[in-house]
C-alpha cells in the first residue's frame, strides 16, 4: 500500500528541514544551506536526495560524526587546481564553499579542477553544477560513495553508486543539467521506495543471494548501468574523487551507517570550464539552445510523446512542484514536525540498512 503524501511549498519544506538540522546541532548557516540543497532535490523530483535524508543527517550530527565548527582550508595547488579540506563537515556545505573557489578560478584562468577532501555525504551533484552553469561555466562533478554496487561478473559489492553530473549554460533561463548514478538507480531511490512502501523494478538490484528483487527491503547489492560500461564509469569516478585526493578507494570507502560518531572522509571533484576561453560564449549558448530545439523536433519513437534532452524531465518536475507543491511522504513530514531529533535508526547498520 502506497503511503499518504503531503504537499509542501518550497519555503515551508526548507524551513522544516533547517529547523530539524539546527536542533540536531548544525549551525544556522550550515543548516540553511543543507535545507536549501535538499529542497532543490525534492523540487526536481529526486526525492531520494531530499527530505528522506534528514533523519540520517540528524542522527550523525547528534552523535558527533559531522564536524559542527569545521576548520575549512583551501589549498591552491596550481594556477587552475586546488584542494578544499572539508574537515568532515557536512558535505553540502564543504562542496558549496569549494565550488565558489572553483568558479572564481575558472573565470580567471579558463579552467578549474577542485578536489574536496574529507567531507560527509554531499547530496545531489546537480545542485552544484547548476550553480556553475548559472555563472556561464560548463561543469562536471563526480563523487565517491561507500561500496554498494556489485561489479560486472561479481557477486559482492565493491564500488559505490559513484554519481556523475554535468551542466552547460544556454540562452534560456535554465541550463542543461544531467545527473546520474553509475548504478541503474541511486541507493536513495530505494530508500524513497521504502519510505513509500513501493516495490522497485527487478532491474535495479539483487538480494543476498545475488538474485533480482522487487522488494526494496531485501536489497543487498545494486547493479551497474549497462553492465561493463557502468562498471567502468564507477571505477573512473572512484579514482577521480578518491585515489586522486589520497583518500580511501573502492571497498575501503567508509560506510554511511557503520559508525555515526566518526567522520566519513569522502571525496568529490569539480571540473569547471569557461567556454569563453575556447569559443564565443554567446554563440556557444545559442548552439546549445538550438540543439535543444532540434531534439524537441525529433520524431519520437512509437509510444513516446516527446523527445527530451537529458535531465529535462527533472526540470519539468521542478517547475511543477514550484507551482503545485512538493510531495513528501507523510511519515517524513510527521518526523519533521515532531520534537524528535532522530530515532536512533541508522547507527551501526550495514550499507543496506533495513531499519
Residue 353's pLDDT band, with cuts at 50, 70 and 90, is low
Q: What is the pLDDT of residue 2?
A: 65
260 close to 112: Cβ distance less than 8 angstroms: no
Mean pLDDT score of the chain: 94
- Please say if the pLDDT value at position 354 is more than 60: no
How far are the Cα atoms of 72, 75, 84 from residue 104, in angstroms, in the given order? 18, 14, 14
**∠ CA 232-234-236, rounded to 5°:** 70
Q: Kindly name the residue from 47, 49, 85, 121 that is annotated as catalytic.
A: 121
- The kind and range of the H/E element at 33 are helix 28-43
For the cut 90, the answer to whether the pLDDT of residue 351 exceeds it is no
**pLDDT top residue among 137 and 196:** 137
Is residue 212's pLDDT more than 80? yes
Confidence of residue 219 (pLDDT cuts 50, 70, 90): very high
* Sign of torsion over alpha carbons 32, 38, 39, 40: positive
Whether 261 shows a pLDDT value over 50: the answer reads yes
- pLDDT at residue number 210: 83
Q: Rounded mean pLDDT of 35-51?
A: 96
What is the band of 196 on the pLDDT scale with cuts at 50, 70, 90? confident
Which neighbouring-strand residues pair with 275? none
269 CB neighbour count, 10 Å cutoff: 23
Delineate the domains of the chain, giving CATH numbers in brackets.
70-287+311-324 (3.30.1370.60)
Asked if residue 286 has pLDDT above 80, the reply is yes
Question: d(Cα 3, Cα 1) in Å, to the nearest integer?
Answer: 6
d(CA 168, CA 317): 19
pLDDT confidence of residue 1: 54
pLDDT above 70 for 336? yes
* Reported pTM: 0.93
CB 188 within 8 A of CB 53: yes
In this prediction, residues 112-117 reach a mean pLDDT of 98
Beta bridge partners of 88: none
| CA nearest neighbour of 34 among 89, 87, 99, 85 | 89
| Active-site residue, 121 included | yes
CA–CA separation, 276 and 282 (whole Å): 9
Whether the predicted pLDDT of 355 surpasses 50: no
pLDDT of residue 195: 75
Amino acid at each position: 500500500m502506497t503511503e499518504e503524501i503531503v504537499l509542501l511549498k518550497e519555503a515551508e519544506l526548507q524551513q522544516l528541514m533547517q529547523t530539524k538540522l539546527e536542533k540536531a546541532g548544525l549551525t544556522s548557516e550550515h543548516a540553511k544551506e543543507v535545507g536549501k540543497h535538499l529542497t532543490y532535490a525534492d523540487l526536481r523530483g529526486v526525492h531520494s536526495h531530499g527530505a528522506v535524508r534528514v533523519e540520517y543527517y540528524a542522527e550523525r550530527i547528534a552523535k558527533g560524526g559531522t564536524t559542527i565548527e569545521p576548520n575549512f582550508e583551501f589549498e591552491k595547488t596550481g594556477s587552475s587546481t586546488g584542494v578544499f579540506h572539508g574537515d568532515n563537515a557536512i558535505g553540502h556545505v564543504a562542496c558549496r564553499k569549494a565550488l565558489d573557489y572553483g568558479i572564481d578560478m575558472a573565470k580567471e584562468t579558463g579552467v578549474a579542477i577542485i578536489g574536496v577532501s574529507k567531507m560527509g555525504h554531499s547530496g545531489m551533484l546537480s545542485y552544484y553544477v547548476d550553480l556553475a552553469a548559472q555563472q556561464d561555466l560548463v561543469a562536471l562533478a563526480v563523487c565517491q560513495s561507500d561500496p554498494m554496487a556489485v561489479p560486472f561478473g561479481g557477486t559482492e559489492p565493491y564500488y559505490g553508486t559513484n554519481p556523475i553530473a554535468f551542466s552547460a549554460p544556454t540562452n534560456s533561463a535554465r541550463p542543461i543539467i544531467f545527473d546520474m548514478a553509475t548504478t541503474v538507480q541511486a541507493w536513495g531511490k530505494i530508500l524513497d521506495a521504502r519510505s513509500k512502501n513501493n516495490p522497485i523494478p527487478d532491474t535495479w538490484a539483487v538480494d543476498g543471494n545475488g538474485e533480482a528483487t522487487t522488494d526494496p527491503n531485501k536489497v543487498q547489492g545494486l547493479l551497474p548501468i549497462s553492465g561493463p560500461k557502468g562498471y567502468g564509469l564507477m571505477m573512473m569516478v572512484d579514482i577521480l574523487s578518491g585515489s586522486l585526493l589520497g583518500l580511501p578507494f573502492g571497498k575501503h570507502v567508509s560506510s554511511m551507517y557503520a559508525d555515526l560518531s566518526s567522520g566519513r572522509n569522502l571525496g568529490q571533484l569539480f571540473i569547471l570550464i569557461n567556454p569563453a576561453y575556447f569559443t564565443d560564449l554567446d554563440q556557444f549558448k545559442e548552439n546549445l539552445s538550438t540543439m535543444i530545439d532540434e531534439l524537441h523536433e525529433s520524431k519520437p519513437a512509437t509510444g513516446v510523446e516527446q523527445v527530451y534532452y537529458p535531465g529535462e524531465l527533472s526540470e519539468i518536475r521542478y517547475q511543477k512542484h514550484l507551482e503545485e507543491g512538493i510531495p513528501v511522504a507523510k511519515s517524513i513530514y510527521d518526523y519533521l514536525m515532531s520534537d524528535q531529533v532522530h530515532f536512533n535508526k541508522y547507527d551501526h547498520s550495514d550499507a543496506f540498512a533495513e531499519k
